[in-house]
Structure 1
């Protein structure tokens, strides 16, 4: 009990990777995820024997059982980093660089920004990414333009050993989405994600101590082994390549059944797929309440998101029991749960006096997403009590003094909604900070009364 195995990733990040791998496998075929993992030596030798990129691409094609005859390889001028995500080297990763090249699906070409011999590891990694991009594109995979999706396919098909030795992401980007699923375009895989994907690659092949793992850099080897032990002992993975079963098109009945399973990944992914065509039946309501009360933060967060998604279409889903549970979660020990539940209550127009008071308290928190949730909730109200208005005042002054302008428009829009004439209020609020008053007044002139319609109709 005290030595319960754990993966090296959070439940949410782990389940997202497994879901993406399932998508790729259902597109490319599960057999490609049982191909041997090629060592760095084998990959470098395949190029060194001919010193020819065309021959190396042919070698990759034979490994993948993919026709690469139509792929063109050329050396061109370097391009500026892509902000929108490139098939081969694009993507907005918060790291030291990106792969020196790109794949163009329109003419099936891989363009290298430099000769391979200048940096063989980077050059060959770029060719590998390009060939896998082509494989995904030729199979009409929707995420073929996203660096993360391509890298998952690279590692899953046994071609990731060169990439494992290249650091492309120094810092994982942050996202306002607390479930960490909706960030797009996804960047390259960071080290923890690389480690877990390698563990999945070994586990899918039934390898408990793969020889190729000795080639992994030290920052990947230990977390990879930790996750491999976790997978071997628990079998806790939505992605089950050995079964070779497509599951993404299963019925709603099957998704609801899967949400009741014991494994965390299955629950998280199933919850994301839950839909309802009206009020929940007793069994569905009981299951959703159970997920909202889960001890797993990932399950709770996704359950909150599911309530929001379904209740926006069918307001009856947000009944008294569901709303009461969401209100309870605004006092949760986890900041992400607190913030997400408060945002959902605001969007559903289900705030009561107690949650309004909680929202005002959130403005004193340090995490920005908690402050945002409190402000967002209060801004949906036509009126707020004096204590809440004073809390917003303190928050506004604090943010402007810190030159933090992220929430300025939201606060001013709220003032417009609550006050007949906000200008005298702002002049009084900043009478001791005349340097900040022009910023507040300028924002007042430019911001409409309500930035976004959040409240549902009656």
Structure 2
């Protein structure tokens, strides 16, 4: 039996990196992503000839065709990020680890935390990072302050071989909603992300058997081979540097067309760009329904986000005038999906659109009993948007409230108290009865209640 080749990253992560690479290439030029990949030996030899950081910077500038004459190198003790600058992979970035210095855009300086000779590989990698940071800043790239995106540019322009040998990320941060790329703080690239970016670098140079890959550590080299095989066989990438085509300014009709392409990552990126000026036409609604019913998790999740975005854009207009009941019905179906993230996302979207019905309210109440925090959040959030709930829902929220009080989870405490205020005439008496066996938690509940804003109308909970 034959198996389809797969990339070493999920479609969600794969598409996120491909979009970033496309953004960088459209800013600094596609030709820089087909430059030769420089070996560590080459970079060490450049430094050894004069043992002068400025000599290395001039060499890197020539490689990138970038004017580096204004860049200064300074050796200083480790320090916090300056108020006037940003850090691009440097010592002031928060994260599990760091390079040996930082780039200061305000003074166009690379600040080294140690002499290069004390750790040549780390020192030279920091110089490379600084020069690429400068390239991005000088071209007004919006993500120039983000370490992860600087590293994508470093690897993509052929300068990542030293960085590939340095482990900076022990564990990536995670977020239950994987569609919110811009809200998740990212440190440096981990080994899986480095592997895929290196695979893109080889594929972009039409190099099926890159000799430079032999210099990679095993935990990068092996997944690189897997992804390179995938790319060579499928060409499944939104980022196509050899085509040198700007895609990010294309029209909405082109984005809708791309959302129907065969490439999973292109679909995800296109879905993230979909907009609507009003009611979805039949073709758009059909495509959106198809994506909501897709078996691909990343496509489905981003279709949920797109539905929310397009409907809430016209909040002054009734949601039914933007999308049909078929869309809302599909969202309700997804609240019972086998994937926890899909269930939570669908519930939050329905609540945001004001489209909860009786069965989804029951599902939201069941989510309160789950051990997955994001499902509990989805259930609490959905219920907190309602002015009234069935009487049988309140005990579920009571149990949830006691649990989060014991855990001192203040994000949930605030949200639950806001829900009680909407439902109950006298939430204080309810708390006193509920917490009579936990008197130590009652002050927290009452303090939160006191700080919560007064509801516009006092509403009794429904029967």
TM-score normalised per structure 2: 0.94
User: 1:292-323, CA deviations, whole angstroms, 9 ceiling, x for partnerless residues?
Assistant: 00000000000000001110123322321111
Which residues of 2 match residues 64-213 of structure 1 at below 5 A? Answer: 64-80=64-80, 86-89=87-90, 93-95=94-96, 97-183=97-183, 185-213=185-213
Moved more, 106-115 or 283-292: 106-115
CA spacing shift, 1:91–1:338, aligned 2, 3 Å: farther
Q: Is the 8 A contact 1:146 1:185 kept in 2?
A: no
Cα distance between partner residues in 2 of 1:82 and 1:183: 23
Name which of 372, 378, 392 aligns with 1:387: 392
Alignment-derived partner of residue 370 in structure 1? 375
Moved more, 172-181 or 212-221: 172-181
Cα distance between partner residues in 2 of 1:216 and 1:180: 31
User: 1:368-413, CA deviations, whole angstroms, 9 ceiling, x for partnerless residues?
Assistant: 1111010000000001112211111011112222343330110011
SS in 2 for 1:73: strand
Q: Is the 8 A contact 2:172 2:186 kept in 1?
A: no
User: 1:199-223, CA deviations, whole angstroms, 9 ceiling, x for partnerless residues?
Assistant: 1001101111111111111111111
Alignment-derived partner of residue 310 in structure 2? 310
SS in 1 for 2:181: coil
SS in 2 for 1:407: helix
Aligned length: 450
CA spacing shift, 1:91–1:345, aligned 2, 3 Å: farther
Alignment-derived partner of residue 223 in structure 1? 223
Cα distance between partner residues in 2 of 1:426 and 1:208: 66
Moved more, 76-85 or 222-231: 76-85
Alignment-derived partner of residue 413 in structure 2? 408
SS in 2 for 1:406: helix
Cα distance between partner residues in 2 of 1:276 and 1:72: 48
CA spacing shift, 1:365–1:81, aligned 2, 3 Å: farther
Shift of 1:180: 4.6
Asked whether 1:399 is paired with 2:404, we answer: yes
CA spacing shift, 1:381–1:82, aligned 2, 3 Å: farther
Shift of 1:88: 4.0
Cα distance between partner residues in 2 of 1:85 and 1:347: 35
SS in 1 for 2:102: strand
Alignment-derived partner of residue 240 in structure 1? 240
SS in 2 for 1:285: helix
Asked whether 1:423 is paired with 2:428, we answer: yes
Shift of 1:362: 0.7
Shift of 1:433: 1.5
Alignment-derived partner of residue 455 in structure 1? none
Cα distance between partner residues in 2 of 1:89 and 1:149: 13
Alignment-derived partner of residue 445 in structure 1? 450
Alignment-derived partner of residue 265 in structure 1? 265
Alignment-derived partner of residue 460 in structure 2? none
Q: Is the 8 A contact 2:237 2:266 kept in 1?
A: yes
SS in 1 for 2:241: coil
User: 1:113-156, CA deviations, whole angstroms, 9 ceiling, x for partnerless residues?
Assistant: 11111222221111101100111111121111111111000000
Alignment-derived partner of residue 361 in structure 2? 356
Cα distance between partner residues in 2 of 1:450 and 1:261: 47
Which residues of 2 match residues 44-59 of structure 1 at below 5 A? Answer: 44-59=44-59
Cα distance between partner residues in 2 of 1:103 and 1:380: 45
Which residues of 2 match residues 273-292 of structure 1 at below 5 A? Answer: 273-292=273-292
